[in-house]
A and B are shown apart, each in its own frame.
Chain A
Amino acid sequence: MTSLNSSELEQALLHKLRCRVDEKKKDIRYEVFADDGRLVARTWMSHSWRQNTPLGAGMLSKIKRQLQLTSLQDLVDLVKCPLTRERYFEIALAED
């Protein structure tokens, strides 16, 4: 069963995707920009999620959609490392 926790996801957003973070709102917004400056995606995490809050398949599916990924496995691979930053942008920037 697909499962990640909030801390793992946050680390990937901050360090692999180098998101800009806006914490001023009720929830934390992460903005993903490509190296050429284009906005590629945005997603949110709840302030109420404590470290290691488990994120089930339903929530991961919503986050996957916001990150412009095509499969849950891509999201898991993004977080768990097999999917590189470069590969992420290939997927997220692809024309459908």
Chain B
Amino acid sequence: MSDVKARVTVTLKTGILDPQGKAIEGALKSLGVDGIASVRQGKVFDIELAGADRGKAEAALKEAADKLLANTVIENYRVELL
């Protein structure tokens, strides 16, 4: 048992319109950054779990993502233990 560090990444599902990503894409293109084809904006959560084993930590993080961090109607998430 020790502290576990984790990262949950939330991204928009394919096909969901992302006006913020589009605006960033436009700004990058106008800055002349080479080769930008498209931009999709997402969210990253860095989470520390106290005294959890890795199996339980992963289950807790999935619960956190399903219940709150992601809206699974429009978003996917990925849990990584670091």
Question: A and B: real partners?
Answer: no
* Interfacial residues, chain A to chain B (CB-CB below 8 A): none
